[in-house]
Amino acid sequence: MKIEAKYLSIHELGQRSNQEDSIFPAIGNIIPHNDLFILCDGMGGHALGEVASQTVCDALSEYIHSHPNADFESALSYAYDALDAKDLDAEKKMGTTLTLVKFEAEGCIVAHIGDSRVYQIRPSEKKVVFVTKDHSLVNDLVDCGELTPEEAKHSSQRNVITRAMQPHQDRRTKADVSILTDIKKGDYFYMCSDGMLEISEDQDIINVLSMNKTDEEKIAILRRVTENNNDNHSAHLIHITDVNDSPFDSSMPKLNKKSFWHLILPVIITIVLFALAILLLPRHKKSLDEPLNIGTLTDTTQNELDIVP
């Protein structure tokens, strides 16, 4: 599948004194035909949060662009190595959330750690097609029935996350990874830090993106309704402008040359043997129908006769 898209971004300070969100591509750094988007929300206090988020953002974008055939786990490991190298051994460890969207021939890879989100919204149907699940304490409490979704919105623990990227972890936190293939022209991928969601519900986002307005007008509305938010707030709004589906089944694994011949060679051999059997069978039958002169048979001929049923 070939996907074409245009994107716009938000990167606001909010009521904070420093910016701990980091995004790729950065504001003003428009990359033509870009297929990679990253958003990280740092934590750990002044300077530490922004170091963590920027380090992961830079390391992932650098590795993925310089290793186009690498898998996501290798890229994430590289980002963790970069984060370890920046560790200041502070009493309060720095850390960051992660959201990543990467468009490929097989579809869209979505990876996330923490409570920054990725939405896939379909305005033509006015619905959320996909949304990441927050790695947060209140979300876990909702799942086990200790809180209702409404109580979770107002809980004093709503900003406590259960997963984050931090340096020198005994066990490095894994990302939830999804591969999305149900992508249509007109869909939006909306990546945002939790600061964008202080007063916005899913339905509010759907309503804005379903308006009969340009993308520039929609991003201006999203920026305007969040301008008084307390936290840093950042977002990528990615509009799918065209989708060309591949004639091949993208759910099938790719085959290298070795696996191709392992699969096809037995089939070829079977076909050749079957064809030879068909060609030889009539000739053999004719020879059996001819009268045999027993007196002139050699030992070899007698041996051959013995095995004829």
pLDDT digits (tens, 9 = 90+) for 187-216: 999 999 999 999 899 999 999 999 999 999
The residue range of the domain holding 297 is 257-306
User: What pLDDT score does 264 carry?
Assistant: 61
The per-residue pLDDT for range 121-158, each reduced to its tens digit, is 999 999 999 999 999 999 999 999 988 888 888 788 88
User: What pLDDT score does 280 carry?
Assistant: 66
Q: How many domains does the chain have?
A: 2
Residue 126 vs residue 252, higher pLDDT: 126
Residues 213 and 167 in one domain: yes
Residues 240 and 273 in one domain: no
Residue 89 covered by a domain: yes
Residues 121 and 217 in one domain: yes
The per-residue pLDDT for range 83-121, each reduced to its tens digit, is 999 997 777 789 999 999 999 988 999 999 999 999 999
Percent of the chain whose pLDDT exceeds 70: 80
Tokens coding 260? 């191709």
Residues 212 and 294 in one domain: no
Residue 252 covered by a domain: no
Among 20-29, 154-163, 245-254, 289-298, name the most confident range. 20-29
**Domain containing residue 166: CATH number:** 3.60.40.10
Does the global pTM surpass 0.75?
A: yes
Residues 215 and 288 in one domain: no
pLDDT surpasses 70 at 284: no
What average pLDDT does the chain have? 84
